[in-house]
Structure 1
Amino acid sequence: MIEEQGRVIAREGDHVRVRTQRRSVCGGCAARGACGTSLLERLFSRRAAEVRALDRVGVEVGDEVVLAISAQGVLRLSLAAYLAPTLGLVLGAVAGNALGGAASDPLGLLGAGLGLTLALVWLRGYSRALARDPSRQPEVIRRLGAEPQRVTLLEP
């Protein structure tokens, strides 16, 4: 499970909106910001993100919470997001070149564009299907800062 901390900013039925603070990838690196990745992060990174998460704990607006999502689900979606457009582009270009004959370059370019477009349409449908699957959604697993309730036994 991948976990992230955040603050509940809104309720939506059995879901909540949580604002998370993105952590830097440079925190655990020995170079500590002396590389190209840290430069890109400073230039293009938004520090806060909002996540819609399933609430099974019963949190309120303003609570600090911990969110969790399946690492396997993130891996599958990442593979689909990177692999589908690349395969669509390459397979479309190869098919266009194969069918093009004398005009193989323009048809290869057209095939690449068509393959990429079809892959992106498929990816959109795939991500929407995953968004409807409760097992693939982030969920609130615990409230932070909550004191456990203590039970005191009184003797008669």
Structure 2
Amino acid sequence: MKELAEVVAVDGNRVTVTTQLKTACSGCAQVSTCGAGILSKVFADRNAQFHVVTDESVTVGDRVELDVPEQAVTQFALMLYGLPILALLIIAIALQSSEAVHEGITILLSFAGFALTFLGLRAWFRRRDIKINQLVRIKTV
């Protein structure tokens, strides 16, 4: 997966880059009439800024191409979307089989597990930032 970014800071071999976050709506013909397309325009000026370690010689203001292996993107997307849903289902099934737990409590606990899984993944991804950043390759454009 490739993305264009701009170098905003250089500290030795640690480079800070920023990239414009895009939505799928930018490529759709119905963007001006669709509700999601209209909302995407409201939040269109979002930028992602992050640090990447590289041996490439870059200066502030350079446009660079970020390259992330597709296998890593797929793996992280499956974890981010799949694990919370899996947690929700497992908790719901486990609590539903118990006669002592009311249906409302089962629903609340299932959604709580769903949310806690997101928070756990967020913390886990932050600890893994160094390894994730090693997957990103910078190439000057």
Structure 1 length-normalised TM:
0.72
**Quick one: structure 1 residues 87 and 140, their matched pair in 2 at CA, closer, same or farther if it must change by over 3 Å?**
same
Tell me the equivalent position of 2:136. Answer: 138
Q: Is the 8 A contact 1:70 1:136 kept in 2?
A: no
Structure 2 length-normalised TM:
0.78
Q: Using the alignment, how far apart are the partners of 2:106 and 2:22 within structure 1?
A: 42
Tell me the equivalent position of 1:127. Answer: 125
Q: Is the 8 A contact 1:5 1:65 kept in 2?
A: yes
- 1:21 deviates by 2.7
Q: Using the alignment, how far apart are the partners of 2:53 and 2:27 within structure 1?
A: 30
Query: Rg larger in 1 or in 2?
Result: 1
3-state SS, counterpart of residue 133 of structure 1: helix
Q: Using the alignment, how far apart are the partners of 2:134 and 2:24 within structure 1?
A: 24
Tell me the equivalent position of 1:83. Answer: 82
3-state SS, counterpart of residue 88 of structure 1: helix
Tell me the equivalent position of 2:102. Answer: 104
> 5+ unaligned residues in a row in structure 2: which ranges?
none
RMSD (CA atoms): 2.6
Number of aligned pairs? 141
Tell me the equivalent position of 1:18. Answer: 17
Within the alignment, does 1:64 sit opposite 2:63 as a pair?
yes
**Quick one: structure 1 residues 36 and 137, their matched pair in 2 at CA, closer, same or farther if it must change by over 3 Å?**
farther
- Write the deviation string for residues 79-99 of structure 1: whole angstroms up to 9, x where unpaired: 111111111112112212222
Please say which of residues 49-58 and 29-38 is displaced more in the overlay: 29-38
Question: What code does the residue aligned with 1:103 have?
Answer: V
**Quick one: structure 1 residues 20 and 125, their matched pair in 2 at CA, closer, same or farther if it must change by over 3 Å?**
closer
Bigger relative contact order, structure 1 or 2 (CA pairs below 8 A, ≥6 apart):
2
